[in-house]
């Protein structure tokens, strides 16, 4: 796995760089205590913990997080890191019980700063296997989100109950949001009637 939690530090003696590893966040520490293999990445600009997960163990980690209270899939999506980079499937999970508890105790809507959130990322080599286990069985909201990610980026989700295009016509060639996508000069849509 790539280690994005490394910060280069220049030295006075030579041009080599040493590496300083950021400490893992609370979710990563909990996953480590459960002996679940993952790679902590740097926190995002909002302070949300980001964790890299290998495709085969994604359902196991997602189930463990759901059992631990991260019971809401706020969003799932994908993006292309560009030439030479990976395709990424990401999952943003939230602990809704925390929001409910804070609301009931104070009778006011908690701010976004009080949410417990985590982002899972699955990095897929562009020329490799673009297949990820579906999380539909854990989070029903993943249905259309995983279909959209397949439709736009070509990342397929194993064991998804409706593995077909969502936005593009069934006979569309390619995946329009990939940075290596070449727009056809002309596309004639096949009419169903």
What is the CATH architecture assignment of 26-181?
2-Layer Sandwich (3.30)
Q: How far apart are CA 70 and CA 63, in angstroms?
A: 9
Mean pLDDT value of segment 105-121 = 75
Q: With a cut of 90, say whether residue 4 has pLDDT above it.
A: no
pLDDT tens profile 137-168: 999 999 999 999 999 999 999 999 999 899 99
Q: What pLDDT is attached to residue 127?
A: 92
Give SS3 for 61.
helix
pLDDT tens profile 23-51: 889 999 999 999 999 999 989 998 999 99
Record the tokens describing residue 117, joined without a space: 């959130």
Assign residue 47 a region (left: φ > 0; alpha: ψ between -120 and 50; beta: otherwise): left
Q: What pLDDT is attached to residue 185?
A: 73
Q: What pLDDT is attached to residue 14?
A: 42
Mean pLDDT value of segment 131-142 = 97
CA 191 to chain centre: 35
Pairing of strands 117-125, 49-52: parallel
Of the two residues 94 and 109, the one the predictor is more confident about is: 94
Beta bridge partners of 66: none
Of the two residues 61 and 104, the one the predictor is more confident about is: 61
Phi first, then psi: give them for residue 52, nearest 5 degrees: -90, 135
Of the two residues 91 and 107, the one the predictor is more confident about is: 91
Q: How confident is the model at residue 108 (pLDDT cuts 50, 70, 90)?
A: low
Report the range out of 105-109, 110-114, 137-141, 166-170 with the highest average pLDDT: 137-141
Domain definitions of the chain by residue range: 26-181
What residue spans of 68-192 are helical by DSSP H? 96-106, 142-153
Q: What is the chain's mean pLDDT, rounded?
A: 85
Q: What pLDDT is attached to residue 15?
A: 40
What residue spans of the chain are helical by DSSP H? 26-33, 58-67, 96-106, 142-153
Q: What pLDDT is attached to residue 161?
A: 94
Mean pLDDT value of segment 18-24 = 61
Q: What pLDDT is attached to residue 96?
A: 86
């Amino acid at each position: 796995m790539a280690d994005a939690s490394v910060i280069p530090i220049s030295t006075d003696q030579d041009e080599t760089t040493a590496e300083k590893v950021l400490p893992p966040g609370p979710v990563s520490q909990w996953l480590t205590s459960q002996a679940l293999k993952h790679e902590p990445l740097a926190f995002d600009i909002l302070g949300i913990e980001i964790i890299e997960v290998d495709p085969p163990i994604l359902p196991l980690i997602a189930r463990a997080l759901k059992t631990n209270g991260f019971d809401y899939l706020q969003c799932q999506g994908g993006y292309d890191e560009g030439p030479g980079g990976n395709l990424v499937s990401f999952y943003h999970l939230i602990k809704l019980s925390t929001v409910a508890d804070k609301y009931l105790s104070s009778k006011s809507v908690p701010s976004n700063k009080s949410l417990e959130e985590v982002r899972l990322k699955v990095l897929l080599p562009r020329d490799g296997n673009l297949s990820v286990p579906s999380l539909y069985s854990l989070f029903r909201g993943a249905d259309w989100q995983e279909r959209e990610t397949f439709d736009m980026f070509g990342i397929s989700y194993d064991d998804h109950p409706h593995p077909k295009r969502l936005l593009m016509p069934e006979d569309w060639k390619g995946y329009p949001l990939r940075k290596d996508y070449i727009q056809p000069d002309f596309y004639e849509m096949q009419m169903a009637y």
